[in-house]
Amino acid sequence: MKIQIKLNGILVSREIPTSWNQVNFKMFLELQKCKSDFVKVMALFTGIEEKIIREAKIINLDDIILAVGFLKNEPVNSVPESILSYKIPKDLGYESIAQFEDIKDTLKKSSEMTIEQHLDNYPLYCAIYACNPYDWKKAEEMKDLFLNAPCQEVLGIGNFTLAKLIGLNFNTGQGFHPLVILLRNFRLALTVWRLRLAFIVRSFTWKKKQDISVKSF
């Protein structure tokens, strides 16, 4: 969605997302840092500094608030057939023992990380599947590419990887209790984060209605 902002008397245009389909994974990670600040969200979407966007005149702000209402909904995770033109194995099947072992080792190393730190590894999981023929060093070099991939696809691959690895380890009788806890905590964290974003949109909408009521009075 194209919006117009008046900065120092000059009207500038910016494109902002109006659905999760338009949010890449890098922006998804940055959104988590916005917490309960709508100004931070708008600064992220427009690429304009917070202190500037806070005082700027935004044309048709009410319509923009409605447009970013998608933040109230949880992104739909989907495992794509390809991501950034790289083919992804069906059902994220492992095509080599090296792939399986490297993903398992990466997850074990991240068992002590926070949810946010763990999410930082999701582009690496995408690279491990996308790298063909598989090579660990090459996958590491590729991982930053997937920060620009659609967030729902990266989340789908990352979350499915966790669930798949849990299933494989339980089926082989090894167990992977820390990973089960990690996946459970991630789902909880995502729910809390989504509710926080919903609060941002609702509270800012309420403030605007209050402002309008006061002006009318």
d(CA 16, CA 42): 9
Q: How far apart are the first and last CA of the chain?
A: 33
pLDDT-derived band at 100, boundaries 50, 70, 90 = confident
Strand segments, DSSP code E, in the chain are 2-7, 10-15, 57-58, 82-83, 86-87
Residue 110 confidence (pLDDT): 64
For the residues 95-117, what does the mean pLDDT come to?
80
**HSE of 197 in the Cβ direction (CA atoms, 13 Å)?**
24
**Which range scores top for mean pLDDT: 71-75, 139-143, 158-162, 190-194?**
139-143
Bridge partners for 7 per DSSP: 10
Residue 216, pLDDT > 70, answer no
Using pLDDT thresholds of 50, 70 and 90, give the confidence band for residue 99.
very high
**pTM exceeding 0.85:** no
Between 147 and 115, whose confidence is greater? 147
Give the pLDDT band of residue 24 (cuts 50, 70, 90).
very high
Lowest-confidence region among 25-29, 84-88, 90-94, 172-176: 172-176
Q: Give the confidence band of 33 by pLDDT, cuts at 50, 70, 90.
A: confident
- The mean pLDDT value for 7-22 works out to 93
**pLDDT value, residue 174:** 46
